[in-house]
Structure 1
């Protein structure tokens, strides 16, 4: 394959610690195969932007990172990316903040990324830009003479037209995407939403093969759902670390049935609604009190953003109220933990849980759902309760699908999952596992890069 240049907000370089996620593993493998390079922000702050690049090579993967100024981080990352685009793209228009300074910082940092990375791009390289932080980067690269094939993949949902139009610069933002040769989305739902916007706002033509034509330039549009490194995660679930964690969780459960939720502390994950659904279950099924508990792991993130501080305070209060109402001296219904765990330990916890609650209000994919399925004992698998609004629901149709906004549906799903006979649990698990094995993270990566390599770049007239 051609040499691959991957560009993302942050770079996840390989390390000896074994803490890389499936996405980083897949991208690292592609970079090794193509002798490519991964470019992005180091995560570090610098007083004055210099454009200096820190080059490293770890386990055969070349990385190039830059530092950003405090103003860049505040306006581009904390501001436009996470206080404007993230809530808007997750259908939370009520939380989206529109400030000119945010938008200006977003444009400035994308221009800085382009200026810095262009000298690293060789004539036949494939350039792969990732996620909402860098939507305009393709346009900025073209403005600096980059004629390579450039692809963009969005890891979060694409919102409906009416929601997107609440963004003051929505037209300019979307038009910048037309500089790419391939645009990938997690789901058919997001792809349909983008096509609807492009047709209604730009009169773009889109043929049956998914090729969009606008102003003399053609862009291929695809739905390409990301997966996990299934084989590796299956192995993790039976590792010594995972077995030890499994045994400790079973011992800690003391004969009770454990349910699990693992989510970054974010309002899109539906944790408040999940707790309310579980509360409804406990009220409607008093015979289950003392027999079941929910382990909710929710490591904090973006603590400097006000809405994240508020969701943490809300969940602290709600979990305390539910535990205060239902617990006794021997049992608490919710074990609420604000810290993260290494993947092998998580694999052991997944395997120990009879039920997983993956109930985001909106999610691009949600790999926790796939990890939970992959971690299960095929002879005695647990049950996945999955939000209809997670991208994974398009693939994992044999999960118990719920509307996370409805406490009754969540409550009923918990009752159904706990009562589900072994034969049905195995049948549902096998169907989901087939998909997770076939459409893993390597399938996702190859599908995108093969399409990008096969798509001829047509410069806009």
Structure 2
């Protein structure tokens, strides 16, 4: 059986800690690697004065991690620059925040070349390679140029923007052309897959075989599939019953003093719709004064990407908005918003989720959003909370039994909060059961199996290295 070589921007250590890779992706990939064995390669998160390509190997828990340090300029241009100031906002439809600088694009290309040089000697002939996310779009192309004849798949964890938005990226076509070095590309939803095909057909003249799910361009064929990521639902359900989760549950129940808790857990990011969420919650307080002191919102928002100016702005804005709402509506014995800027272990969060009456997950745009799935998995089957979910999260496609809202509409958020608070137990249980069954069926192992099975079914590339080398100029940026 072939090994799995996972390549992503950050890596989760095999000792079970997840200080490098963040959130659900780390949990999902670690689970896949434990099942199949192999190597997880990526950036260490550390900086070095001069890039040497030296690999730090760490073994344990069924797989090996291989990490490299990057130079300060690499981090500034590849990670803080092109990945997080160009592609991230663009892929989340925020072209008003996207920064198009040649230095960013050059650094992104340089780092992907360095990753290819470093990981190529670790890849054996029978291995399958699975590259993750927008940080590494051109990496498969670079591996082909270095003679890699293995099956190589790419999975995008973010949305794929509509054609006319993507066309604002100066090197959009060159970047998309590098994707044809892959054998398989996976997307969370049919919408993102269709947007990719739309760009390939109308901007590049690619041929789309919708029946076979194949896109052909420049002598290469790549299969495209919808493959929504899941969580380890059984593990998270068990986690919600461990000592830390139970202690947290009791702590939150005591601190609620009989009030209904609404919880939001989001990385501090403009794509998460936190300002709009606060506006919707405030509208609820204004429209339903009889409910005012019967609820409170706990918003957990650990900061991220603090060196990027747009993230500094959103943090300052949220501190101002939460302070204003509390100042306007708080009483001696009640504060409407508890706003916390730190992260917590997953078992602690499981206890928070179970103690809450409402889970408020309202991103403006999200590839999937695993918090929504974790919230459902953590609930008490006999008395579950209600999930309010943005219809613009990828999870909404699978979780139609949630209360789906337009996150831009304060009125819809307010109405959904009231409906959730007044929802009869029988309806809450029925909605929860429908979502829980889907989460368990389409869990992380299903996601892994669907993608890997599709990748293994792809024919070996054969002459793909030559085709890929001829397909794209030396730089994709």
Please name the residue that 2:128 is paired with: 126
Superposed displacement of residue 25, structure 1: 4.0
**DSSP-derived class of the 2:131 partner:** strand
Tell me the alpha carbon deviations over residues 240-265 of structure 1, each in whole angstroms, 9 at most, x when there is no partner.
Answer: 11111001101000011100000000
Question: Distance in 2 between the 1:22 and 1:393 partners?
Answer: 17
Q: Write the distance in 2 (CA, Å) between the matches of 1:153 and 1:17.
A: 23
In structure 2, the partner of 1:346 is 349
Pick one of 292, 313, 316 that aligns with 1:310: 313
Distance 2:344 2:39 in 1: 29
CA contact (8 A) 2:262 2:295 kept: yes
Task: Report the Cα offset of residue 331 of structure 1.
Answer: 0.1
1:398 alignment partner in structure 2: 401
Equivalent residue, structure 2, for 1:48: 50
CA distance in 2, matches of 1:34, 1:334: 44
TM-score by length of 2: 0.95
Task: Give 1:428-447 correspondences, 5 Å limit.
Answer: 428-447=431-450
- Tell me what 1:379 maps to: 382
Q: Residue 474 of structure 2 aligns with which residue?
A: none
Q: Deviations over 1:72-109 (max 9, x none)?
A: 00000000000000000000000000111000000000
Contact (CA 8 Å) 1:54, 1:66: kept in 2 or not?
A: yes
CA contact (8 A) 2:278 2:322 kept: yes
Change (3 A) 1:181 1:424: same
Cα pair 1:22 1:229 within 8 Å, conserved:
no
Distance in 1, Cα, partners of 2:424 & 2:247: 27
The separation in 2 between residues aligned to 1:18 and 1:268, in whole angstroms, is 23
Q: Give 1:415's aligned residue.
A: 418
Runs (4+) of structure 1 exceeding 6 A deviation are: none
Aligned to 1:137: 139
Partner of 1:191 in structure 2? 193
Shift of 1:202: 1.6
Match of 2:176 in 1: 174
User: Deviation at 1:29?
Assistant: 4.0
1:3 aligns with 2:6: no
SS in 2 for 1:348: helix
Name the SS of the counterpart of 1:328 in structure 2. Answer: coil
State which of 219, 223, 226 in structure 2 corresponds to 1:223: 226
TM-score, scaled relative to structure 1: 0.98
Moved more, 200-209 or 357-366: 200-209
1:151 to 135, 140, 153: 153
- In the alignment, the residues of structure 2 paired with residue 357 and residue 28 of structure 1 have an alpha-carbon distance, to the nearest angstrom, of 27
Structure 1 residues 235 and 33: alpha-carbon distance in aligned structure 2, compared to 1, 3 A threshold = closer
Q: Which residue of structure 2 aligns with residue 14 of structure 1?
A: 14
How far, CA to CA, are the matches of 1:181 and 1:33 in structure 2? 22
Task: Determine whether 1:301 maps to 2:304.
Answer: yes
Aligned-partner Cα distance in 1 for 2:292–2:453: 52
CA shift for structure 1 position 267: 0.1
Gaps of 5+ in 2: 468-477
Among 63, 79, 89, which residue is 2:81 paired with?
A: 79
Question: For the Cα contact (< 8 Å) 1:186–1:225, is it kept in 2?
Answer: yes
**In the aligned structure 2, how far is the partner of 1:292 from the partner of 1:298?**
19
- 1:362 paired residue number: 365
Q: 2:330 aligns with which of 302, 323, 327?
A: 327
Q: For the residues of structure 1 that align with 2:147 and 2:444, how far apart are their CA atoms?
A: 32
2:280 counterpart residue number: 277
8 Å CA contact 2:2, 2:126 repeated in 1: yes
RMSD: 1.3
- CA–CA distance in structure 2, aligned partners of residues 39 and 295 of structure 1: 36
Change (3 A) 1:25 1:409: closer
What's the secondary structure of 1:13's corresponding residue?
coil
In structure 2, relative to structure 1, the CA distance for the partners of 1:200 and 1:401 (3 Å cut) is: same
